[in-house]
Structure 1
Amino acid sequence: MARLAAWLKYAVAALISLISVFPFYVLLYLALSSPSRAIANGIAWLPDFRFRNFADAWNVSHIGMAMANSAIITGCSLLLIVALASSAGYSIARFAGKFNAAVLNTLLVSMMIPAIIITVPLYSLMKSIHGINTHWAMILLMAANAMPLSVFLYTSFIKLLPREVEESAVMDGCTYFSAFWRVTFHFLRPVTAAVVILSGLSIWNNYAQAVFFLQKSEMHTFPLAVAMFFQKYGAQWNLMAAAAAIGLAPAVLAFLAFQQYFIKGITAGAVKG
């Protein structure tokens, strides 16, 4: 009976894995197939490995420029998120008080508000500060969107660290600010990895707000380039899949680079808040 239960667990795990991997299989199948070859036209489970699709998609969709825009927005946003959210999380975790508790509760409540609801007032604000079609405004917006969850994760993780970590540095003459950056921050690599992956993927794949605030073609990010490619050239599924695969590659590589810290950071953030 115990062996049967174990086999059932493995079977369920395998089924979930297959369901999760299947969309990526379809994406790569289409990206490596000729226009006339598709799953719907027969029982062909292997593509004809047309690698030329990637070069064609790169040249036709101008995805290189779009990925550069996405890299600038994502990279700068993550620098802001890590610097500000870690500092805020440290202040909330180490200096308990009604004000800090109110700040944390406000951030948690703001996480429940769908971003699409505030698009109209955000557009008015962006227009008034001349932020439409600019990198800096999109960077600030993406950082603000990711800040509540990031602060929560940092706060939860720092609460698990012993106070002696920075108190010894303070006794040696450091301020709490310098003690945090010189000592405590080095222990935050797991939660920083979690913040970078969660926020980075969200920013890199953001479409709902980028479509409003980045209207010029030269300012388009990766999701906008793929969408415009489909609208402009029709249902060239193989080229669109190739473009999507190119754009997903940096996200996959980033996850593989940070995965050893990711689970630890997420778990610690969920244990104690």
Structure 2
Amino acid sequence: MKAFRKSGAYAGLVLIIAVFLLPFYIMFYLSLSGPADSIAQEWFPRAMLFQNFADAWSKADMGRALMNSLMISIGAIAVLIFCAACGGYAAARVRSRLNRAVFHVMVLSMMVPGIINTVPLYIIMRKINGINSHWAMMLLLACQCLPFSVFLYEGFIRSMNQSVEEAAVIDGCTKFSAFWRVTFPLLKPITATVVIMQGVGIWNNYAQAVFFLQNQNYHTLPLAISTFFQTYGADYNLLAAGAIIGLAPVVLVFILFQKQFVKGLSSGAVKG
């Protein structure tokens, strides 16, 4: 009976994995096949048409869009990590009613959908000349991800021992110096968690980018793919190739930070 239950559990797990991987299989199939190939008739394309990726890259102008996405994402994540780490450290180490009140207000702000703020944000962006601007988009995306990131850092830092920081202060370090030189290097697991969890949202951001990056020269990868879909909606092979190109950087980042990401989640990243 025990063996039967174990086999049933494995069978269910395999079924879940198969259902999850099926859309990706279809996407890869279409990206490497020609217009005449049908996934209903064959399991593999008749010929591996890697030219689909080259065509999608050139027709969607993905080179420029990829550089825009990289610039905005790296800048936003850098600002986010610095501000969130400092805010999480202050929330975890400074014990006062005002500090906890500010932290709770920040946590409550996570319940507000970002799309609600689009109109006031658009007014602010126009006043600061932030429309069609990389730096303004970096700050906007970093601010949107800040509350949840502070929440993650606060839970992680609260679970850490303060003895090393206290020793650094006794040796002559300031509070900020002790944080930057001693505490921050120990935050690699939670930093990797923030990079993956928030970086994916920043990379895939479309709702704000479509309003604030109106000039095609500033389009990010999601905007370029959206425009490409509207233009070549009937050519599923090119659409699938374009989607894989947009997905590849996210998968690569997850592979690079996978171990730190799991460690961050299991070492207090989601505790509060």
Shorter-chain TM-score tier? over 0.9
CA-CA distance at 1:130 after TM superposition: 1.4
Equivalent residue, structure 1, for 2:6: 6
- Inter-partner Cα distance in structure 2 for 1:90 and 1:270: 13
Deviations for 1:12-41, whole angstroms, at most 9, x for unmatched residues? Answer: 2222222222221121111111122232xx
Please tell me whether residue 147 in structure 1 is matched to residue 146 in structure 2: yes
SS at match of 2:155: helix
Scaled by the length of structure 1, the TM-score of the pair is 0.95
Aligned to 1:25: 25
| Contact preservation (8 Å) 1:153, 1:266 | no
State how many pairs are aligned. 271
Which position in structure 2 is the counterpart of 1:164? Answer: 163
Give the equivalent residue in structure 1 for 2:252: 253
The answer to whether 1:178 aligns with 2:141 is no
Is the partner of 1:70 in helix, strand or coil? helix
Shift of 1:209: 1.1
SS of the aligned residue for 1:111 comes to helix
Deviation at 1:245, TM superposition (A): 0.8
CA contact (8 A) 1:152 1:269 kept: no
Cα deviation for residue 54 of structure 1 reads: 0.7
Gap regions ≥5 residues in structure 2: none
**Residue identity matched to 2:18:** L
1:255-270 matched pairs, under 5 angstroms: 255-269=254-268
Q: CA deviation at 1:111?
A: 0.7
Q: Distance in 2 between matches of 1:84 and 1:111?
A: 16
TM-score by length of 2: 0.96
With 1-10 and 170-179 compared, the bigger mean Cα shift is at 1-10
The aligned counterpart of 1:102 is: 101
**RMSD, aligned α-carbons:** 1.3
CA deviations 1:25-71 (Å, max 9, x no partner) are 121111111122232xx322212311110111111110110010000
Aligned mates of 1:144, 1:45 — CA distance in 2: 46
Secondary structure of the structure 2 residue equivalent to 1:194: helix
Matched, 1:15 2:11: no
Closer/same/farther in 2, CA of residues 175 and 76 from structure 1, 3 Å limit: same
Percent of aligned pairs with the same residue? Answer: 52
Q: CA deviation at 1:270?
A: 5.3
CA distance in 1, matches of 2:32, 2:219: 25
Structure 1: stretches of 5+ with no match in the other structure? none
